[in-house]
């Protein structure tokens, strides 16, 4: 009950027994092996009946912003002292893994941008033998990235162009852009921007 209350107060859907299903769970209850026709599979990783899998199904899209908050809350619940007394829990799934990869990527994104701008500064400075030209290039490229990413957020997350009723320019149903889009676009934008800055 306390877990459900915490979920409601934080704006994240509460956990319910119906969210859990799989070979060892039926309607949110632990099932005996002989009740499910021998389909409950126990692993033998570290001795007989030492581990098992519990599959989770939930109405939320696990890739959405709300679904990712639910994954975070589930991880916190699995690390709670009461859960740790029962067993050692590991959360595995494509949504959880992708969330971890996205978080780690965005954590290192500022460093990647800084290294790109440092490379731009060195290359432009060596080719022009000037300090003003590389400073201007770095400033313009940074400004271009800020404007482009801000417009992307306003368009695909905040629905700035929803009034056009054009699906390609509407807000994403998941609540956010795919995390890979801005990461891949940044290096391409810097390359194109630098190309046009030098040759035009």
Q: pLDDT per residue over 106-157, tens digit each?
A: 999 999 999 999 999 999 999 889 899 999 999 999 999 999 999 988 988 8
Does residue 188 share a domain with residue 125? Answer: yes
Q: Is 45 helix (H, G, I), strand (E, B) or coil?
A: strand
Look up residue 47 and give its DSSP letter.
B
Residue 40, C-beta contacts closer than 8 angstroms, at least 6 positions apart: 23, 24, 31, 32, 33, 52
Does residue 70 share a domain with residue 114? Answer: no
Does residue 109 share a domain with residue 82? Answer: no
Q: Count structural domains, the chain.
A: 2
Instruction: Say yes or no to pLDDT of 21 above 80.
Output: no
Nearest Cα neighbor of 65 from 12, 10, 126, 120 is 12
Does residue 146 share a domain with residue 70? Answer: no
The domain of 163 spans 100-199
Domain boundary among 65, 92, 119: 92
Instruction: Say yes or no to pLDDT of 88 above 80.
Output: yes
Q: What is the pTM of this model?
A: 0.64
Does residue 86 share a domain with residue 124? Answer: no
Distance CA 82, CA 77 (A): 9
Does residue 190 share a domain with residue 108? Answer: yes
What angle, rounded to 10 degrees, do the helices at 65-78 and 2-9 form?
Answer: 150
Does residue 86 share a domain with residue 110? Answer: no
Does residue 122 share a domain with residue 88? Answer: no
Pairing status of strand 20-21 against strand 25-26: unpaired
Does residue 162 share a domain with residue 71? Answer: no
């Amino acid at each position: 009950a306390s877990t459900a209350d915490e979920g409601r107060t934080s704006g994240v859907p509460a956990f319910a027994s119906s969210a859990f299903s799989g070979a060892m769970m039926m309607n949110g209850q632990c099932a005996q092996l002989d009740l499910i026709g021998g389909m409950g599979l126990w692993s033998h990783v570290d001795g007989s009946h030492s581990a098992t899998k519990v599959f989770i199904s939930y109405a939320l899209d696990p890739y959405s912003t709300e679904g990712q908050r639910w994954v975070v809350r589930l991880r916190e619940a699995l690390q709670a002292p009461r859960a740790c007394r029962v067993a050692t829990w590991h959360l595995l799934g494509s949504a959880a893994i992708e969330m971890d990869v996205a978080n780690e990527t965005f954590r290192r994104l500022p460093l990647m941008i800084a290294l790109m701008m440092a490379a731009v500064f060195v290359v432009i400075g060596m080719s022009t033998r000037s300090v003003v030209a590389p400073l201007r290039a770095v400033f313009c490229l940074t400004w271009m990235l800020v404007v482009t990413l801000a417009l992307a957020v306003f368009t695909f997350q905040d629905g700035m162009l929803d009034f056009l009723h054009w699906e390609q320019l509407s807000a994403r149903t998941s609540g956010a852009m795919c995390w890979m889009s801005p990461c891949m676009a940044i290096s391409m934008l810097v390359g194109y921007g630098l190309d046009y800055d030098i040759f035009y």
